[in-house]
Amino acid sequence: MSDHSRAKPYMNPYLAGTLLGIVLFLAFFITGTGLGASGGLNRLLVFFQNLFVPEHIDQVPYLLKMAGGNTNPLDSWIVYLTVGTIAGGFLSGLIGRRVKVETNKGPQISNKTRWMMAFLGGILMGYGARLARGCTSGQALSGGAVLSVGSWAFMFAVFAGAYALAYFFRRYWN
């Protein structure tokens, strides 16, 4: 019997959504801001930039706010939220017996091409998140929760764009 066949079933999506809503409410209540991921990952990147090229940090006003002088870029609640999210996801995978090394792909694509496309997509999403000064999870969850019209318009555009783009990449998954 393989590990996959012993995997525990996923949580009921209605229960998971309710729990996510409670976490989002607590984030607003405790921190005064919502959820997101790009801010924490950005601060982790700035931490490493500051180790290797601190002179660059001191020349860029945007980075200077996070790591200039004696300021520690990791000294922010969003870093702990991001690390906790990654650790919690890994722990959940361990508990559910779903942690394994695999490459999910269609039969028409090689592992190498799949990984290259995944990294390219991740780089584009990360760049876009910083360019927009926020990530899709923060925009969708936090902005949508406070009924921001811009957040709702953004998410409709994301889904429409994803469905439109999926047409051109469907051959890799069939």
Residues 49-71 pLDDT 10s: 989 988 888 888 888 888 877 88
* Together in a domain, 91 and 11: yes
Phi, psi of 14, rounded to the nearest 5 degrees: -70, -40
Q: How far is CA 126 from CA 1, 122, 133, 151, in A?
A: 39, 6, 10, 18
pLDDT digits (tens, 9 = 90+) for 108-163: 889 999 999 899 988 988 888 777 777 777 888 888 888 889 889 988 988 999 89
pTM value is 0.73
Same domain, 89 and 132: no
Instruction: State which of 48, 69, 102 marks the end of a domain.
Output: 102
Owning domain of residue 80: 1-102
pLDDT in tens, 62-110: 888 888 778 899 998 889 888 998 999 999 999 989 888 999 888 888 9
What's the half-sphere exposure (Cβ side, CA atoms, 13 Å) at 26?
7
- Token pair 């490493």 is at which residue? 48
Q: Are residues 117 and 161 in the same domain?
A: yes
Longest CA span, the chain? 57
Residue 91, pLDDT score: 94
Final residue of a domain: which of 75, 102, 129? 102
Question: How many domains, in total, are found in the chain?
Answer: 2
Is the confidence at residue 28, as pLDDT, over 60?
yes
Of the residues 68, 102, 136, which one is the last residue of a structural domain? 102
